[in-house]
């Protein structure tokens, strides 16, 4: 059994004080819009001015911070680094295996979609093991007005975000009215269940995925078909609940605080009129 003292000494062995100080500076500067002087950084972090000076010189040399009128600011280097790892790949990496496991378990195909220029873009598709299946082509673009996935993502947008989405989707008055009328109920439920608007007999089950900011970044949709035979025959309610559980787990892995997200009161947040 490992003693607490052993754990402490083990952690101490791998400490990197210089790295910690550098990260402290980056994290601090990320919280201020106007930058900070060397003295202000030192005081806030409880460090000596000479310690901070050495760290700032290294960070400047590596392009992470810049100085203007004696005030240090973050550069865009970390932003660029973050975007070298495409969000689409990250989403697919987190969602791919859970989606395939659930598709095998439920014997239903499913796809992962994101918002792109007023449409839903399918970025991942997994098939179930059955010989007969319903799937959506990878890379397909579908109008948000015709999708359950578009509804679950739009339902969580604030007023400016929803207005921008509607503008990009096109102002088809009848479709827009029906689309927006569905959003309050979708948001209260946390999912969307609706008949397919493109294939008769298919019921779409869609659930959002959230990131660490609490914003919806993708949705997973099961184009549910009622099987008449086979070893895995589940009703749509069971599939819906399993999908909700999977998407919430993926959201937590992406850093989302699901308790906070689910505790929001839609009536208190701005909506598109």
Q: So what's the pLDDT on residue 135?
A: 77
pLDDT greater than 90 at residue 183: yes
- Rounded mean pLDDT of 41-58? 93
| Long-range contacts of residues 137-146, Cβ cutoff 8 Å, at least 24 apart | 138/111, 141/116, 142/113, 142/198, 143/118, 143/119, 143/169, 143/170, 143/175, 144/115, 144/118, 144/119, 144/120, 144/169, 144/179, 145/169, 145/172, 145/175, 145/176, 145/178, 145/179, 146/175, 146/197, 146/198
pLDDT greater than 80 at residue 154: yes
Q: So what's the pLDDT on residue 244?
A: 96
Domains of the chain as residue ranges with CATH: 4-81 (1.10.10.10), 87-268 (3.30.450.40)
pLDDT greater than 60 at residue 158: yes
- Rounded mean pLDDT of 90-113? 91
Q: So what's the pLDDT on residue 116?
A: 83
Q: So what's the pLDDT on residue 264?
A: 59
Query: Would you place residue 79 in the very low, low, confident or very high pLDDT band (cuts 50, 70, 90)?
Result: low
pLDDT greater than 50 at residue 258: yes
């Amino acid at each position: 059994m490992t003693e607490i003292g052993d754990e402490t000494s083990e952690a101490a062995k791998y400490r990197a004080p210089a790295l910690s100080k550098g990260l402290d500076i980056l994290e601090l500067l990320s919280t201020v819009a106007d930058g900070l002087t060397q003295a202000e950084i030192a005081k806030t972090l409880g460090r000596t001015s000479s310690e901070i000076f050495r760290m700032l010189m290294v960070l400047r040399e590596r392009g992470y911070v810049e100085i203007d009128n004696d005030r240090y600011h973050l550069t865009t280097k970390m932003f660029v680094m973050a975007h070298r790892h495409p969000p689409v790949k990250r989403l697919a990496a987190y969602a791919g295996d859970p989606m395939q496991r659930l598709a095998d378990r439920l014997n239903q195909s499913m796809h992962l979609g994101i918002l792109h220029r007023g449409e839903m873009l399918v970025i991942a598709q997994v098939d179930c093991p059955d010989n007969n299946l319903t799937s959506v082509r990878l890379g397909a673009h579908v109008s948000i007005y015709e999708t359950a996935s578009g509804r679950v993502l739009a339902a969580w947008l604030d007023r400016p975000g929803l207005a921008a989405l509607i503008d990009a989707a096109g102002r088809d008055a009848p479709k827009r009215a029906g689309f927006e009328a569905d959003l309050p109920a979708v948001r209260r439920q946390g999912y969307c269940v609706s008949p397919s608007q493109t294939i008769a007999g298919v019921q779409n089950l869609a659930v959002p995925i959230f990131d660490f900011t609490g914003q919806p970044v993708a949705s997973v949709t099961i184009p549910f078909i009622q099987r008449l035979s086979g070893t895995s025959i589940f009703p749509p309610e069971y599939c819906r609940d399993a999908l909700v559980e999977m998407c919430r787990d993926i959201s937590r892995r992406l850093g989302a605080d699901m308790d906070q997200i689910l505790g929001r009161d839609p009536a208190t947040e701005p909506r598109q009129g």
